[in-house]
Amino acid sequence: MKKPKVLFVSQEIAPYLEDSPMANIGRHLPQGIQERGKEIRTFMPRFGLINERRNQLHEVIRLSGMNIIINDCDHPLIIKVASIQSARMQVYFIDNEEFFQRKSLYADENNVHFDDNDERSLFFCKGVIETVKKLGWSPDIIHCHGWMTCAMPVLIKKIYNEDPLFSDTRVVYSVYDDEFTKPLCKQYINKVVCEGISEAEVKKLKDPTFANLTKHAIDFSDAVIKSSEKINPEVEKYLKTLNIPVLDYQLPENYIDAFSNFYDEILVNEPVMAE
């Protein structure tokens, strides 16, 4: 029996960013899943405050050089990689000078969120997919962590669903308490529609609040995990209306085994088909 393949798409991973619950899960979950007999790949954005020399990042020339189109504009894609030796795992970094060479993550020095966070998110998600295609690696499960991955489920289910690499892929979306207060750019829905998705399918993005982005991601996911003990009440209520598997919050000492078992259960089910 072949090893199940799990692709982790994470907004934050320690030690490349400061410790947070999400960053710690991004660091330890892939290692734990690999130790439990599954094959993994792990991706995150190459934020400008990541020290390349200290963390020994280097560009993967054979994977770089593609252009990603966002809102009808070309943006060069650079792929970098680093190893966490103690975990025997690699982390791939999605990089672009315009989107990620800033010395902060999501907001400026006045804590005002960047106006192009919607395009940064789209670029990250598309960059991961195109890199995985270039690797020729077909994931059984894609596990998304953080609101910057909110476009991943709809892209996989609506745009890449006929690609043999992703036709049977299950998407798991983790919900965290990483809420932001300022909605994304009002034009975000048009940028998603530009990908070839109808406006009716992504109507929640007309008001791109954190709650609506999360519900939109859930709509195109095969399963959901509550990765924070307390999540947005509106999202919590929405989950109760759905007929997909939902894994409740797990304590730090239990979550890796619980997630691994959850993956196994999801793989038995047929993947959600885009209507």
The pLDDT tens digits for 28-58 are 999 999 999 999 999 999 999 999 999 999 9
Q: Look at residue 172 in the predicted model and tell me its pLDDT.
A: 98
Report H helices in 116-269.
Answer: 117-135, 152-154, 188-193, 210-219, 233-239, 255-268
Question: What is the domain range of residue 40?
Answer: 5-182+210-264
Query: Under the phi-then-psi rule, with left for phi > 0, alpha for psi from -120 to 50, and beta for the rest, what region is 234?
Result: alpha
Q: Look at residue 275 in the predicted model and tell me its pLDDT.
A: 52
The answer to whether residue 161 sits within a structural domain is: yes
The answer to whether residue 193 sits within a structural domain is: no
Task: Give this prediction's pTM.
Answer: 0.96
The answer to whether residue 14 sits within a structural domain is: yes
Structure tokens at 239: 């989950």
For the chain, which residues score pLDDT lower than 70?
1, 272-275
CATH value at residue 103: 3.40.50.2000
The pLDDT tens digits for 97-128 are 999 999 899 998 888 899 999 999 999 999 99
CA–CA dist 8, 6 (Å, integer): 6
- The number of distinct structural domains making up the chain is 1
The answer to whether residue 94 sits within a structural domain is: yes
Q: Look at residue 274 in the predicted model and tell me its pLDDT.
A: 54
